[in-house]
Chains A and B, each alone.
Chain A
Amino acid sequence: MGKNEFLSELEKSLSVLQEDELRDIISEYEQHIDIKVEKGLTEEEVIADFGSLSELTGEILEAYHVRVDYAAGRGKSRKKSSKVLGQESSENLQKLREMGEKGGTTLKSGVKGAGAWMVRTVVWVWRQACRPFIWLRSQAVFQSPESGECGTEEEEIIKRLPGLEADPTGQDTGTAAQRGGDASHRTREDARISRDMQRRRTGSMTGNAVVIGSRGFAGRGFHSLCRGIRKMIQWAADIALWGIRLIWNGCWIMFSVFAAGFGLFSLFAMGLLMVLLTQGYPLAGVTIGCAGLVCCMFSAAGLGMTFLWRRRAGKAAASKRFPEENALNESGKAGQESIRRRIHRPERVMKARRKEAPAGPEEFAIQQREGDGQDA
C-alpha cells in the first residue's frame, strides 16, 4: 500500500470526524511518512510499521471518544444518495406536521370543552352553596335607621319607596306629603332608597339598615346557627392562615439559612483557592467563580428574608388609612383606640342621623305653632 492509498483509506475510515480534525490527523501521518522516506525507508515499510489500518482507526477514534462501530455504521449509511435522504426527511417532516396538526386540534377542543365544563360546575356549586344564606337573609329582621322600626328587608324597602307607602292609618302618607313640600329633600331621599335597593339586589349588605334579629323562632335559631357557623369559619380561616404563614416563613427561612451556609462554605473554599493560587496553581478562574458564588449565595439569603410574611402588614395598612390619627397619637394604644372609634363610627352616625331626621306629625305641629307665635 502506497502513501496516497493509505491516506485516502485512513481519511475514509475517519470520515466521522470533523473536517479540520481529519485534515490535522492526516497531515501528521503524511509528515511522518515523508520524514521516514527522507531517512531512507520506503513508503510500504513505513505504513507497515503503523500496523493494521482498522486498529489504527480504532485508536484514533478512541482518542476522540467516538465509538468505532458507530463510525462504521455511519460510513455505510453515507452510501445512501443525498436525494433519497432528502426525500425521506421531507416525508418524515410532513408526517410530523400532520401529527402535530391533528394533535393540536384535538387538544384545543378538549381544553375548550373541559374549561367550559369546569366553569359551569363552579357556577352551579356556588349557587347551591349560596342558597341557604339567601333564605336566611330573607328571614332576617332589619331596623330602619330613619324610623327605628323593625321589619324584613322587603318590608323596609316597600316602606321607603315613595309610591308604595301603604299605611292604613295614613300617618306615613301625611308625613310624606309634608316632606313633599321640600322637593330637594324628597329627590335626595328617593335617590338614596333606589341606591339601597340596588345594593341589596346586587347582594351587598352595606346599607344603613341594621340586622337585629330574624322572624320567628326558626328564623332566630337559624340566625344564631348562621352566626356560629360564621365564627367557626373565621376561626378555621385564622388557623389555616396561621399554618400557611408558618409553612411559608419556614420555607423561606430554610432557604435563607441554606444559602447563607453555602455562602460561608464558598467563602472558605475561596480562601483555600486563593492560597493555592499564590502557590502557583492555575486556579484564577475557579477563584473568581467562587467569589461570584459567595456573592450570589449571600444575596439569595438576603432575598429570602425579604419574602417573610410579617404581621405588621395590618398595622401599616391602618396607619396608612388614618395618617392624621397615627401622627397625633404617638403611642400605639392611642392609635388603636382611634381606629376602633373609626370602625364604630356608623353607629354614631346613625344616632346623629336619627336626631337630625325630620320631625313626626306632632312635633311638626308644635314647631308650626311656635313659628306662628313668633310671627305674631
Chain B
Amino acid sequence: MNAQFKKGVLELIVLESVRQRDMYGYELVEEVSKVVNVNEGTIYPLLKRLTNEHYFETYLRESTEGPPRKYYHVTAAGILYRDSLEKEWMELSERVWKFLKQNISDEGG
C-alpha cells in the first residue's frame, strides 16, 4: 500500500484499536499490522503524539512476562477526534469511489 495512504489512515486505525480496549505499545503494533503493513517503528512516535495532544492517556500495569507495560487509554477528546477522522475518511472514500465509478462508466459507455 502507498506510504502516504497508510500515513493518513494510521491515526484512525490506532484510535479505533485503542477505543476497543486499552493496549500497550507492542500489542498495538501487532493490531495495526493486521490492517496495514506498516513500519513498526513509526507507531511509537504516533502514540507519543496522540498522548501529547491528550487523545490518549497512559498507565502502567504489571506483566507476568516481564517489566510493567505502559497501556494506552483513549480519552473523551480522543473519541471526538476519532469520530471526526472517521467522518472525513468516509466522505473522502465516498467521493473518490464516486469519481472512479463515474470515470469507469464513462469509459465503458
Q: How far is the CB of A23 from chain B (nearest CB, A)?
A: 12
Stretch of B12-20, B63-71, B85-93, B96-104 lying at the A interface: B63-71
Interface residue? A375 (CB, 8 A): no
Chain B residue total in the interface (Cβ 8 A): 22
Interface residue? A62 (CB, 8 A): yes
Label chain A's interface by main secondary structure: helix
Query: For B52, what are the chain A residues with a Cβ–Cβ distance below 8 Å?
Result: 63-64
**Cα–Cα distance between A56 and B70 once the two chains are bound (Å):** 21
Interface residue? B49 (CB, 8 A): yes
A19-64 contacts to B, CB under 8 A, are 24-25, 27-29, 31-32, 34-36, 38, 49-51, 56, 59-60, 62-64
Query: For B69, what are the chain A residues with a Cβ–Cβ distance below 8 Å?
Result: 31
**Does B25 contact A31, Cβ atoms closer than 8 Å?**
yes
Interface residue? A282 (CB, 8 A): yes
Q: How far is the CB of B15 from chain A (nearest CB, A)?
A: 15
**Cα–Cα distance between A59 and B39 once the two chains are bound (Å):** 11
Query: For A34, what are the chain B residues with a Cβ–Cβ distance below 8 Å?
Result: 66
Query: For A28, what are the chain B residues with a Cβ–Cβ distance below 8 Å?
Result: 25, 44, 47, 70
Given the known inter-chain contacts A32-B25, A282-B77, please indicate yes or no for A59 contacting B67, CB distance below 8 A.
Answer: no
Residue of A nearest to B58 (CB): A24
B23-55 contacts to A, CB under 8 A, are 25-26, 29, 39-42, 44-49, 52
Indicate the size class of the contact surface on chain A: 20 to 34
Q: How far is the CB of B61 from chain A (nearest CB, A)?
A: 13
Query: For A281, what are the chain B residues with a Cβ–Cβ distance below 8 Å?
Result: 76, 80
**Does A50 contact B41, Cβ atoms closer than 8 Å?**
yes
Given the known inter-chain contacts A38-B65, A63-B48, please indicate yes or no for A29 contacting B76, CB distance below 8 A.
Answer: no
**Does B41 contact A59, Cβ atoms closer than 8 Å?**
yes
Query: For A56, what are the chain B residues with a Cβ–Cβ distance below 8 Å?
Result: 41-42
Residue of A nearest to B65 (CB): A38
- Give the most central of B39, B45, B76, B77: most A CB within 10 Å: B45
Q: Convert A265-293 into 0s and 1s, putting 1 for each residue whose CB lies closer than 8 angstroms to a CB of B.
A: 00000000000000001100000000000
Given the known inter-chain contacts A35-B26, A282-B77, please indicate yes or no for A29 contacting B45, CB distance below 8 A.
Answer: no
**Does A29 contact B46, Cβ atoms closer than 8 Å?**
no
Which B residues lie at the A interface, using CB under 8 A?
25-26, 29, 39-42, 44-49, 52, 65-67, 69-70, 76-77, 80
Can you sample 15 A-B contacts with CB below 8 Å? A27-B70, A29-B44, A32-B40, A35-B66, A38-B65, A49-B39, A50-B40, A59-B41, A59-B42, A60-B48, A63-B45, A63-B49, A64-B49, A282-B76, A282-B77
